[in-house]
Structure 1
Amino acid sequence: MSRAVILPAPGGAIELDGERTVLDRLIAQIREAGCEDVTVLTRPGADRPIKAAQLESADAATDLEHVGELAAGETGALFVACADLVASQTTIAAVLSDSSRRSGVLVGTDDATAAPVTVERGLVTGPGPGPGRLGGLAKISGAHLKRLRRHWPHGTTGHDDAFEAVLALLGARAVPVSAYKSAGLAHRQVATADQATETIAEFEAIDLDQWRMSNAVKHDDDLFATYCVSSWSPRLVRLSARLGWTPTPITWVSIALAIGAAGIFAAGWSWWYLAAAGLMYFSFVFDCVDGQLARYTQNFSSFGGWLDMMADRSKEFLIYAGLAAGAAVDGNPATAWGLAIAALLTQTVRHTADTWYAVLLDTAVVNQARKRESAPPIGRAAHLGQRLGSASEQVMGAHRSPLYWAKRTIVAPVGERWLLLAACAVAFGPQIAIAALLAWQLLALGYTGAGRTLRTLAARTAALRRPDRAAHRDDGYLGRGIRGLGLNPTISTAAAIALAAAAVWASAAGTAPAWPLLSAFAAVCFGLAAASAEHDGMFDWLIPAGLRAVELGVVLAAGLVAGVSWPVLYATLAVIALYFYDLAAGLDKAASPVARRDLGLGWPARSLIALAAAGVSLATAPGVATVTFAVLAVYVASVFIGSVVTGTVRAARA
């Protein structure tokens, strides 16, 4: 449940049409955007009736105290607005409809009297020369409210304005503050009736339907999505809106189409692969349309955003499985499924690294703005990282140039991956399709890994030095029960990865079972040592991706040693990977429907179960491991799918 607090401002009493004031209009807009709980702070002596709860407040310091009191019991987002804000409903909804874990503030360029701010990487990093200026509306997410409550100031704060004091408090606690923008739609904190009238006239002169559609389609999307989907998908978006469809059902349609494509691929190569390629294309189209529809209608939900991210990976893993099954029909099952598993592992590790690298960059921006870097860049590599970052920004600034498209495409984005799979499957067969994808994934991993290593040296910050890192790690009871063992976490993670890789290599090569199992067990131990340590190093942002590689490698090695059925082994790895993707989604999305994370057991326990199953299978009957792996996959999938169904029902009732 979210709450809005409106701070006093003289311009709020300006009458617009003889019946309502600027403040009345703002209250109605906030409620229309979905926030019913509105509290207005008023100065002593104000006697105009207001259709909202009121609290008398003497000055800015008291305003801040009241905001802190109102935030004390909140579990949802807290919106803070200034009473003199005049903006379109679309602009207000752009802030209030954000269901993610982000906190942010409305930023514009129209109000010359507003405080100027600096915006870097989409984050407001503090006072600055502009051109961005504060817009009088901010959001503090529920996740960040918890961090602020213990540090909420009492008494004087050094700020004459409570709104700026709230933003300063976010900065003091190193909370990244996103910049919400509605470019082209004027919004101002007004001081006179003329200013209010002019501002309303400015945004009412805009075709809001066309503006929303223009902003619903990403302007910085990838090559395939830009020219082969977004060039015509707005027609589907408008049709969906007219029919009253919401984004979540469209996501399910996209999933159904991907399932159909995977089913055709699994039957082995035939000219029906052309139909499967078509289903893949339209699955991707609907995957784009659900997000565009959400932005066009401003119909966002935390569950819908989470489902969209999880659906992307689920569909891709289904396509891998379908191609592997199809390749196994006429070829070697070990080669077919091995390539699919390698592609799954590479993609999962890449995406985990991508998630935490983005956190690293955001953390670096915030820390550098607060001048809290441990030291300036030192050494040739760090300076090379700085130059690399500057060059990357210049290339991305040259929008839709050849270098721009090359940089966006080399990292194997989802649309291009699907195009490669579909085209190669039709032309060369399923096994060549998976092999080509794996080669591209490895190239992308090497390219991004080298560049990010250098940029990490330039950033010199610790992305995992944060109070909520355990919420994104899936250590389970076993992992949390082990405390610091005195080992460097980065070195421990590297050792664990090497041991897991050695275990996979040894099991695939058919060496004596004891060696890969012992190597895999040692990998788990080093992984636990890494998880238990304090993560205050520059390269510790790689630890979550490293632990994913360790778990998946250990499970794979155990499955290979015990001769687990290929489809069962793939399904187990895919379910575990998807279960972790839920954690990655939690870094940005507001909420996951998985209420009991411990029900998934945690990566150390799952790894040890796989190793134990392999050991028992070797000592007794070969089928024990296959049954155990299948039970583990079904169990984790049941926890996961049960949460998805619950979330779907809850979202439908909301």
Structure 2
Amino acid sequence: MSRAVILPAPGGSTALPDGGTVLDRLIAQIREAGCDDITVLIRPGADFSCKAAQLESAGPDADLEHIGEIAFGGTGPLFLAFADLVASQTTVAAVLSDSSRRSGVLVGADDPAAAPVSVERGLVTGPGPGPARLGGLAKVSEAHLARLERHWPASRTAARAGETPTDAFDAVLAALHARAVPVGAYRTPGLVHVQARDEEDAVKTIAEFTSVDMDAWRLKNAVKHDDDLFATYAVSSWSPRLVKLAARLGVGPTPITWVSIVLALGAAGIFATGSAGLAGGADASVPWYALAAALMYFSFVFDCVDGQLARYTQNFSAFGGWLDMMADRSKEFLIYAGLAAGAALHGSDAAAWGLAIAAMITQTVRHTADTWYAVLLDTAVVRQARRRETAPPVGRAAHLGQRLGSASEQVMGAHRSPLYWAKRTIVAPVGERWLLLAVAAVAFGPQIAIGALLVWQLLALGYTTAGRCLRTLAARTAALRRPDRSAHRDDGILARLMPPGGHRFANLPAAATALAAACAGAAVWRAAAGDVWTPLALAAAALLAALTAARSDHDGIFDWLIPAGLRAVELGVVTAAGIVAGVAWPVLFALLGVIALYFYDLAAGLDKAASPVARRDLGLGWPARGLVAIIAAAAAVPTAPAVATAVFAALAVYVAAVFIGAIVAGTVRAARA
């Protein structure tokens, strides 16, 4: 349950023409945004009434003590606001409706009297020259409160060495920065907000934002201004009409997501069966594939609409954000499976399903690397702002990385220029991937469509990895220097049995992971060539090498690649074992898909800062799952492929059941909170 603390400010008692005060208005806005547990801190001798609990506080240091008692005496996020904040309901809701596990502070450039702050990559990094200025409203998530509990500042001076914040609000932000917690910047451009000093100030501000057409403002800001090429021109150019229609009908974002899933399922089904049994041959399947392509397009449209609708109506939920991300990958994997099944009807099962599996693994590895590279950049911003990483870039590669970073920022700053679109498109974003699959399937058939996608994915993976490695040398920051290992993998009991630092590669986890990924790749290659025992030996070696990184300190600058490497190891080991054992291709694809989605949930926890899954120990862990696959394959070699197929199917069902059970349990737990 969320809590809100309103800090004393002289302008809070300012009377408004409607008969209330600035504070009364703010309390009503906070309640309308869904937070009923409100505490107003007042100074001794203050004589006013308000419709919220009041708590006498002697000064800023006492404010800190009271905030700590409220923050750690319950559950849920904590919101801080100044009593004199004058803002629109949309602005207040932009902070209070954020159901993710992120922390953040409202910023703008409207109040010249507010403290200037530095904002980089959407993160408030501390006091700065501006032009962004603090807006007097902040959120501290429950997860970050847990990190602050043992380090809560007893006074403003204790908030951060070398600085003395002027009030408890600044002290809490300084404490977050001192613990290297990323603090996001909430913005509502075009809607002014100020900490009012008098009635004239408050009335003028209210008149400014009430003159804005809020419906038009919300619709405009519901559409991402920095989306990809296909989404920008083929979807967002007309999807706002669907957004308004859905809002008028009272349809929420989550049902829109389910519609998108159903459409993708229909497209996959047509790709899988559209050409079956048609007397006209391949040409007769073209209309069916065209229908499937149309369903893919509208599935993507609704995938965009659900997020736009959430922003338009400010109807956000942690589950909705998580479902949106998980649905994206689930739909894409369904399309891969449908194309593979359709291609297998008139060709080789191994070629069709093998391409689909390769595309799924490549996409999973790449997205895992994308997630942790974003963590690297956020970590670099926070740490460099605190001046912990003071060493200058060393070597030609580091300087090249620095120049690449500057060039990339310049290109992305030239919004919607040809270079901007080229840079956004070369990395194979989701809309462009779907467009390629749809057009290629209609024109050339499903197998060529998957093959073309795989080539593009591999090029994108090579392009992004090379550039990011060079930029990492310039950043000189370790993204995985953090305690939450569960945020990027589930080790299970086998990895936990490995003694910390008890192996040769204890200080080289990235090298050990690279060796493991190479062994897994070689295992798949030899299995595809028809070998039996060599692939299994290589798969076992891959697991062993990956385990050497499990208990290491991930404090190297390239260790952000470890999560992606471990994904490649497990998926490669399972693939090699499945090929050796002759596991039915759809069953092998299903197991790999379940495992991939299991790890996409980890990415959702970082990217969307929301996941209903609280524990992963029942999922066995990636080393145990790989070992089960190897043992099943070894047992099936002298017997029959049906044995391994049954084991792989059972493992897929088990992991899926554990995953779904954790989702249900987490959702119920969140609903009761």
For normalisation by structure 1, the TM-score amounts to 0.98
Aligned to 1:514: 533
What amino acid is the match of 1:29?
Q
Distance 1:404 1:241, change over 3 A: same
SS in 2 for 1:531: coil
Aligned to 2:104: 104
In the alignment, is residue 232 of structure 1 matched against residue 238 of structure 2?
A: yes
Query: Over residues 165-184 of structure 1, what are the superposed CA-to-partner deviations in whole Å (9 max), with x where a residue is unaligned?
Result: 11111110111111111110
Cα distance, 1:53 vs. partner?
1.4
In the alignment, is residue 64 of structure 1 matched against residue 84 of structure 2?
A: no
The 5-angstrom pairing of residues 548-563 of structure 1 reads 548-563=567-582
In the alignment, is residue 505 of structure 1 matched against residue 525 of structure 2?
A: yes
In the alignment, is residue 260 of structure 1 matched against residue 279 of structure 2?
A: no
Cα distance, 1:76 vs. partner?
1.6
1: distance between equivalents of 2:671 and 2:244? 22
In the alignment, is residue 335 of structure 1 matched against residue 351 of structure 2?
A: yes
In the alignment, is residue 624 of structure 1 matched against residue 640 of structure 2?
A: no
Q: Report if aligned partners of 1:303, 1:593 keep a CA contact under 8 Å in 2.
A: yes
1: distance between equivalents of 2:668 and 2:156? 47
Aligned to 1:191: 197
Q: Report if aligned partners of 1:324, 1:431 keep a CA contact under 8 Å in 2.
A: yes
Cα distance, 1:593 vs. partner?
2.4
The 5-angstrom pairing of residues 214-613 of structure 1 reads 214-269=220-275, 270=285, 271-373=287-389, 375-484=391-500, 485-486=502-503, 487=505, 488-511=508-531, 513-613=532-632
The 5-angstrom pairing of residues 143-154 of structure 1 reads 143-154=143-154
1: distance between equivalents of 2:73 and 2:448? 57
583-592 or 306-315, which moves further after superposition? 583-592
SS in 1 for 2:558: helix
What amino acid is the match of 2:630?
L
Cα distance, 1:528 vs. partner?
1.1
Q: Percent identity?
A: 76
595-604 or 517-526, which moves further after superposition? 595-604
For normalisation by structure 2, the TM-score amounts to 0.95
**Unmatched segments (≥5 aa) in structure 2:** 158-163, 276-284
Aligned to 1:11: 11
Cα distance, 1:652 vs. partner?
8.7
Cα distance, 1:156 vs. partner?
4.5
SS in 2 for 1:555: helix
2: distance between equivalents of 1:116 and 1:48? 31
Q: Report if aligned partners of 2:614, 2:666 keep a CA contact under 8 Å in 1.
A: no
What amino acid is the match of 1:451?
G
Distance 1:357 1:326, change over 3 A: same
**Unmatched segments (≥5 aa) in structure 1:** none
Aligned to 1:137: 137
Q: CA RMSD in A?
A: 1.5
Query: Over residues 449-468 of structure 1, what are the superposed CA-to-partner deviations in whole Å (9 max), with x where a residue is unaligned?
Result: 11101100000000000122
Query: Over residues 402-445 of structure 1, what are the superposed CA-to-partner deviations in whole Å (9 max), with x where a residue is unaligned?
Result: 00000000000000000000000000000000000001001100
Find the partner of 1:159 among 161, 165, 171.
165
2: distance between equivalents of 1:477 and 1:29? 49
Aligned to 1:174: 180
Segments of 4+ moved more than 4 angstroms = 643-654
Cα distance, 1:638 vs. partner?
1.7
SS in 1 for 2:549: helix
What amino acid is the match of 2:194?
R
In the alignment, is residue 114 of structure 1 matched against residue 126 of structure 2?
A: no
Cα distance, 1:7 vs. partner?
0.7
2: distance between equivalents of 1:581 and 1:204? 42
Cα distance, 1:643 vs. partner?
4.2
What amino acid is the match of 1:53?
A
2: distance between equivalents of 1:75 and 1:353? 33
What amino acid is the match of 1:287?
D
Distance 1:338 1:268, change over 3 A: farther
1: distance between equivalents of 2:476 and 2:319? 35
2: distance between equivalents of 1:545 and 1:389? 22
Cα distance, 1:499 vs. partner?
0.9
Cα distance, 1:153 vs. partner?
1.2
Q: Report if aligned partners of 2:274, 2:288 keep a CA contact under 8 Å in 1.
A: no
Q: Report if aligned partners of 2:513, 2:546 keep a CA contact under 8 Å in 1.
A: yes
In the alignment, is residue 49 of structure 1 matched against residue 49 of structure 2?
A: yes
Distance 1:649 1:236, change over 3 A: farther
SS in 1 for 2:555: coil
SS in 2 for 1:150: helix
Cα distance, 1:607 vs. partner?
0.7
Cα distance, 1:649 vs. partner?
7.2
What amino acid is the match of 1:514?
W
What amino acid is the match of 1:41?
L
Cα distance, 1:50 vs. partner?
1.6
Cα distance, 1:69 vs. partner?
1.2
SS in 1 for 2:646: helix
Query: Over residues 74-108 of structure 1, what are the superposed CA-to-partner deviations in whole Å (9 max), with x where a residue is unaligned?
Result: 43211111111000000001111111221111001
SS in 2 for 1:272: helix
Cα distance, 1:2 vs. partner?
1.1
296-305 or 148-157, which moves further after superposition? 148-157
Distance 1:250 1:161, change over 3 A: same
Q: Number of paired residues?
A: 653
Cα distance, 1:651 vs. partner?
8.1
Cα distance, 1:251 vs. partner?
0.3
Q: Report if aligned partners of 1:268, 1:329 keep a CA contact under 8 Å in 2.
A: no
